[in-house]
Amino acid sequence: MSHVVATGAGKVMMDRRTDPTHDYILGLTGKERPRVLFVGTATGDDPAYILSFYTTYHSDRCAPHHLPLFHRAVDDLAGFVRGFDVIHVGGGNTANMLDVWRRQGLDDIMRELWEDESSNVVFTGGSAGGICWFEGGTTDSFGPTLLVLPDGLGFLPGSFSPHYDAEDQRQPIYHAALKSGELGPGYAVGNLQSVHFHGGKFVTAISPVEDALALTVKAVDGEIVETPLPVTVLAGS
């Protein structure tokens, strides 16, 4: 069964070269040198973000590759993607990313991997790369005012709100969407925290720092209930 590790921040976490979160993700594969695929669609395959990925997920740590979709060079997309142990999705514009994936058929390829019980792929990423695995979340895809995106891949039920400690709009917009039913109950994390699921079941929240923000959030009788999650503070933090 595959894993999902959804993180609060994308590029911020990627730029933390020695953050133990990266080792945690690679360790889930059970392989000495896992094959890692970076998908940077959410920033239009930004070269600087791709370079940051290769600097963090360097060849001494894993076998890194990236998949450009704006200047696609792969004919057999399904065959290419299925060869990886980790699919790492960068942050950026969640809505545009999902539209490109659906146009290219990448969403169906990843869904087949997720639904294959013999698969042990780790689906991961921060911000857009965290929201996409859920049914929906809060996003800045449409401009500086945050909106609700009830349009994720739905590998995991409910919703995800990243950047919960870093952006003032996140909490009120998420709360309003939960109260209205536009989003289902879900998870909220700070920039440096992640939530780990295995086979669709919550395992733990992880953090490289002691002061961790990781919550379940739901609306009950019109009121918001936030419940702290158990957090594993990673060794080497």
pLDDT in tens, 147-176: 788 889 999 999 999 999 888 888 999 999
Whether 163 sits among the annotated catalytic residues: the reply is: yes
Whether 127 sits among the annotated catalytic residues: the reply is: yes
Tell me what pLDDT residue 150 has: 86
Q: Using only the alpha carbons of the chain, give its radius of gyration.
A: 17
Tell me what pLDDT residue 140 has: 81
Percent of the chain with pLDDT over 90: 88
Burial string for 103-126 (b: 16+ CB within 10 Å, else e) reads ebebbebbeebbeeeeebbbbbbb
CATH code for the domain defined by 3-233: 3.40.50.880
- Which among 3, 66, 163, 196 is annotated as catalytic? 163
Average confidence score pLDDT of the chain: 95
CA angle 48, 92, 67 (to 5 degrees): 60
pTM of the complete model beyond 0.85: yes
Say yes or no to pLDDT of 237 above 70. Answer: no
Say yes or no to pLDDT of 101 above 90. Answer: yes
Q: How far is CA 14 from its chain centroid?
A: 12
Identify the CA nearest to 123 among candidates 185, 223, 199.
199
Angle (deg, nearest 10), helices 94-104 and 106-115: 90
Tell me what pLDDT residue 63 has: 98
- The predicted-structure confidence for 111-123, as pLDDT tens digits, reads as follows 999 999 889 999 9
Q: Average pLDDT, stretch 220-232? A: 96
State phi, psi for 219 to the nearest 5 degrees.
-105, 130
The answer to whether 193 and 8 are in contact (CB under 8 A) is yes
Say yes or no to pLDDT of 200 above 90. Answer: yes
- Which among 52, 127, 141, 159 is annotated as catalytic? 127
Say yes or no to pLDDT of 50 above 80. Answer: yes
Tell me what pLDDT residue 11 has: 96
Say yes or no to pLDDT of 106 above 60. Answer: yes
Say yes or no to pLDDT of 142 above 90. Answer: no
Show the tokens assigned to 11. 């590029």
Show the tokens assigned to 205. 């929240």
User: Which comes out higher in pLDDT, residue 138 or 57?
Assistant: 57
Say yes or no to pLDDT of 230 above 80. Answer: yes
pLDDT category of residue 128 using cuts at 50, 70 and 90? very high
- Cα 189 from Cα 137, distance rounded (Å): 12
Break the chain into its structural domains and give their ranges.
Answer: 3-233
State phi, psi for 221 to the nearest 5 degrees.
55, 40
Tell me what pLDDT residue 139 has: 86
